[in-house]
């Protein structure tokens, strides 16, 4: 086919064939790029959905992952005034008795 053409026509025909192949390959690359972008967007959406689902599960399970601050416990004992008839040791014994009455472990404090 090319033998019937002169040299300039052969070069033009070859250039046209190469250009057509190059255009076809560019279309393939553009299509692959578009598909990759779509897949990346789907992955972002799935990640956001999974994060939201996890957040909802944590909220339903009682809040956040952080440990809660221990609740304040009010123990009814007399105040230590620091006077001679009210010794500090007696106050500690009274505090210890109140803690034992509430059955509070040292690990809870």
Three-state SS annotation for 6-57: CHHHHHHHHHHHHHHHHHHHHHHHHHHHHHHHHHHHHHHHHHHHHHHHHHHH
Q: Is the pTM of this model over 0.85?
A: no
60: CB partners within 8 A, 6+ apart: none
Please state the rounded mean pLDDT for residues 40-57.
90
pLDDT tens digits, 61-96: 775 555 666 666 677 777 777 766 667 788 888 888
Q: What is the mean pLDDT of residues 20-48?
A: 93
Higher pLDDT, 13 or 92: 13
């Amino acid at each position: 086919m090319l033998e019937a053409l002169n040299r300039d026509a052969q070069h033009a025909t070859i250039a046209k064939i190469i250009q057509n192949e190059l255009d076809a390959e560019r279309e393939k690359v553009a299509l692959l790029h578009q598909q990759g972008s779509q897949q990346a967007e789907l992955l972002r959406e799935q990640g956001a959905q999974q994060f939201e689902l996890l957040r909802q599960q944590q909220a339903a399970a009682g809040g956040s992952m952080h440990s809660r601050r221990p609740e304040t416990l009010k123990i009814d004992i007399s105040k230590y005034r620091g006077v001679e008839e009210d010794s500090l040791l007696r106050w500690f014994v009274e505090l210890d008795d109140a803690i034992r009455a509430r059955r509070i472990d040292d690990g809870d404090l």
